[in-house]
Amino acid sequence: MAQNSSFDVTTGVDLQEVDNAVNQAQKEIAQRYDFKGSKAAIEFKRAENVLALVADDDFRMRALFDVLQSKLIKRNVPVKNLDVGEIKQAGGDTVRREIKLKTALDGDTAKKVAAAIKDAKLKKVQAAIQGDQVRVSSPSRDDLQEAIALLRGKDFGVELKFGNYR
């Protein structure tokens, strides 16, 4: 019998790159004229995978988010993996916004990925959900390449990473 080949579908962000992007955004905010004298700040809570933004008003919050987002894009952090929260009023005439980082496939997304592979009816290609990743296996490597192309063509709300290809 032929040996099965496989690969894993995961998602995530490089936390060091996020940290670097936050530091660059903080430097730019300190230099910009429109933020002089304001309470604009970005805090990266690494343990909880959360970015906390604080600004004086909605206008500055949008500008703060734009600066952060541009720095994340420059550092190749997938912006799809950001779960952007609503702007909320906070004490001291400020507004807050929390941005959660998606570091693993949640159950619903993993089910959607597995269902997309099964719905495509590729020959002998099987998808199995294993915790926070999906293992796709097949005797034919060409079929696995087709599965990767299929998944890249669909939008699951997160940036998919394909690894552990054997």
What is the C-alpha to C-alpha distance for residues 115 and 59, in angstroms, rounded to an integer?
41
Backbone angles phi, psi at 129, to 5 degrees: -80, 125
Q: Is 5-12+105-163 a CATH 3.30.70.860 domain?
A: yes
Alpha-carbon Rg of the chain, whole angstroms? 20
pLDDT at 16: 92
Q: What is the pTM of this model?
A: 0.83
Do the two domains 5-12+105-163 and 15-101 of this chain adopt the same fold?
yes
What is the C-alpha to C-alpha distance for residues 158 and 132, in angstroms, rounded to an integer?
13
Local confidence pLDDT in tens for the 166 residues of the chain: 457 888 888 888 888 999 999 999 999 999 988 888 888 889 999 889 999 999 988 888 899 999 999 999 999 988 888 888 888 888 878 899 999 998 888 888 888 888 888 888 888 888 888 888 889 898 888 888 888 888 888 888 888 888 887 8
End-to-end CA distance of the chain: 17
pLDDT at 1: 47
pLDDT at 52: 92
pLDDT at 21: 92
- 15-101 CATH fold: Alpha-Beta Plaits (3.30.70)
Residues in Cβ contact with 141 at an 8 Å cutoff, skipping those fewer than 6 apart = 5
pLDDT at 19: 92
CB 137, CB 122: distance < 8 Å: no
Residue ranges per structural domain of the chain:
5-12+105-163, 15-101
Tell the burial category of 68 from Cβ atoms under 10 Å away from its Cβ (0-12, 13-18, 19+). Answer: buried
